[in-house]
Amino acid sequence: MTKKQISQTNVTNQNEVGKSSIWGGRFSSGPSQLLQNINASIGYDQRLYQQDIAGSRAHATMLAHCGIISEEDLMAINQGLAQIAKEIEAGDLKFSLELEDIHMNIEARLAEIIGEPARKLHTARSRNDQVATDFKMWVRMLLENLDRALAELQAALIAQAEAHVDTLMPGYTHLQTAQPVTFGFHLMAYVEMIGRDRSRFADAHRRLNESPLGAAAIAGTSFPIDRQMTAKLLGFDRPAANAMDAVSDRDFALDFLTGAAICSMHMSRLAEEIVIWSSDRFGFVKLSDAYTTGSSIMPQKRNPDAAELVRAKPGRIVGSLNGLLIVLKGLPLAYSKDMQEDKEGVFDAADALGIAIAVMTGMVTDMQPNPENMRAALTNGWPTATDLADYLVRELKIPFRDAHHISGSIVALAAKQGVDLDAVPLADMQAIEPLITEEVVEILKVDNAVAARQSFGGTAPSEVSAQIAAAKKRFHIG
């Protein structure tokens, strides 16, 4: 849907404070302008138009199949709905605030086009099951799109990881040099996180996929409808088992928002690493011009604005999750108008997460790692101190706590001498621990330290290659 279509500008307010044509039967005067303004959701729920039309088609097909409306009525309804879809697509349908929401706007337009049969469409249906069905289908489509987008991001990360299976860099804990790792290994950590994000969305999809249609307002209907049929026509696994539940829960939206909050947190962490890696001090990666902005005053600047904005997105996404939890908390069954407030946060979170994933994919694909700078960073922080301690345990049978202490003393010496661990003279090490032999020198080299970490899931290039191969299979990449 285009920007134009989703903006408020295509909503007209006739400012007629007349009786509602939808539910005005028992009223003697119309709603105030203020009520119309607070009541209407058409400004944003027009994003559901495709789902609303699909839901109405399925409902009408079922009504005809069950003999509740005629085949002629069904044909007229289908033709009218097809025309409306085209009108909305072209931006030609003016939505009206007085008609409240997308459901009533479409139904009213249908009546304009086909007359009488349109007035039969709402038989055995309520806006309560209608909106729950539409919104579920919209979220379902969203989950499917997100899965594809996340798979693309995984593919981008894997492509970089494959090119840097043996590119060494410091691994950090507390953002202090910890142990040498490979850049490919580091990137593969995110492939795993994103794999779990995808599985959370897949869970949400599986739980969501029960059709509310036919639950009607709250209690089902006395018409002989076929809920199995509409469920099947709309791609649901089955009809939701309890009509009251079907119209009154929005936990499917919360499932999406929870997954989105976690996923956006992962995006945010990767974004922050890219901010750090692309800084002057680190210089581990260079971002492409396509994902870098300049400064209006400092000509030398290449700012990672895109990464920073991805870093910020959890603010609004977690906000939407909190917002909907608070809207729903304490609501008695079944439908209350509060539930209309379920949509904007979901739409906003969907947009925010969608652009964050797309931007990360572009940034990761384009970024140019700088292996020289990564290796140079390994000369700070004595990243093989653990290997020294492990050597003392493995070869000299020294208990690990004692080995840790000895290794620490040798690090202190290296710091005093201003050298890497593998450059501390053997005699100086032996002065601290006489049993140390010259084989230690090889062990203290960063390449050997990385190559030695062959435990399952470890950072050795051989292991990272195996991780990549396995991840491609598990996540169905390339």
**Tokens 């304009």, residue located:** 112
Angle at 11 (CA atoms; ends 10, 13), nearest 5 degrees: 140
Question: How many angstroms separate the CA atoms of 229 and 215, rounded?
Answer: 13
What H or E segment, with its residue span, contains residue 171? Answer: strand 168-173
Pick the closer one to ligand ARG by CB: 41 or 182: 41
Do the strands 11-12 and 368-369 form a parallel or antiparallel pair, or are they unpaired? unpaired
In this structure, are residues 35 and 19 in contact, taking their beta carbons and an 8 Å threshold?
Answer: no
Residues noted as catalytic = 174, 295
Alpha helix stretches (DSSP H) within 173-250: 183-208, 227-233, 243-248
Closer to ligand ARG at the Cβ: 99 or 143?
A: 99
Least distance to ligand ARG, CB of residue 104, Å: 8
Does 370 sit near ligand ARG (CB under 6 A)?
no
Cβ–Cβ under 8 Å, residues 450 and 181: yes
Q: How far apart are CA 443 and CA 328, in angstroms?
A: 59
Among 11, 31, 41, 73, binds ligand ARG (CB under 6 A): 41
Cα 100 from Cα 95, distance rounded (Å):
9
CA distance 476 to 465: 16
Task: Give me the least distance between CB of 342 and ligand ARG, in Å please.
Answer: 7
Shortest separation between residue 337's beta carbon and ligand ARG, angstroms: 6
Residue with Cβ nearer ligand ARG (45 or 73)? 45
- Residue 39 C-beta: closest distance to ligand ARG, Å: 8
Shorter beta-carbon distance to ligand ARG: residue 58 or 429: 58
x-or-dash pattern for ligand ARG, window 78-117, by CB under 6 A? -----------------------x----------------
Kindly tell me the sign of the dihedral angle through the C-alpha atoms of 184, 189, 194, 286: negative
* Size of the residue set binding ligand ARG (CB under 6 A): 10
Nearer to ligand ARG, 53 or 389 (CB): 53
What residues from 324 to 343 belong to the interface with ligand ARG (CB under 6 A)?
335, 337, 339-340
To ligand ARG, the closest distance from the beta carbon of 464 in angstroms equals 49
- Residue 270 near residue 160 (C-beta atoms within 8 A): no
Considering only residues 121 to 140 of the shown chain, the ones binding ligand ARG according to CB under 6 A are 127-128, 131
CB of 314 to ligand ARG, least distance (A): 26
Amino acid at 289: D
The DSSP annotation for 337-405 comes to GGGGGGHHHHHHHHHHHHHHHHHHHHHHHH-EE-HHHHHHHTTSS-TTHHHHHHHHHHHH---HHHHHH
What tokens does 436 get? Answer: 């140390």
Q: How far apart are the C-alpha atoms of 191 and 194, rounded to whole Å?
A: 5
- Contacts by 330-339, CB closer than 8 A, 24 or more apart: 331/248, 333/244, 333/245, 333/248, 334/128, 334/217, 334/218, 334/244, 334/247, 334/248, 335/128, 335/217, 335/218, 335/247, 335/248, 337/39, 339/248, 339/250
Taking the least distance from each CB to ligand ARG, the nearer of 125 and 313 is: 125
- Smallest distance from ligand ARG to CB 302, Å: 45
Specify the residue, 36 or 268, whose C-beta has the smaller distance to ligand ARG. Answer: 36
Alpha carbons 86 and 63: distance in angstroms, whole number: 24
CB of residue 256 to ligand ARG, shortest distance in Å:
16
DSSP string, 88-147: HHTT-PPEEGGG-SHHHHHHHHHHHHH-GGGGGTTTT--HHHHHHHHHHHHHHHHHHHHH
Instruction: Identify which of residues 183 and 335 has a Cβ nearer to ligand ARG in the complex.
Output: 335
Contacts with ligand ARG by CB under 6 A lie at 41, 45, 101, 127-128, 131, 335, 337, 339-340
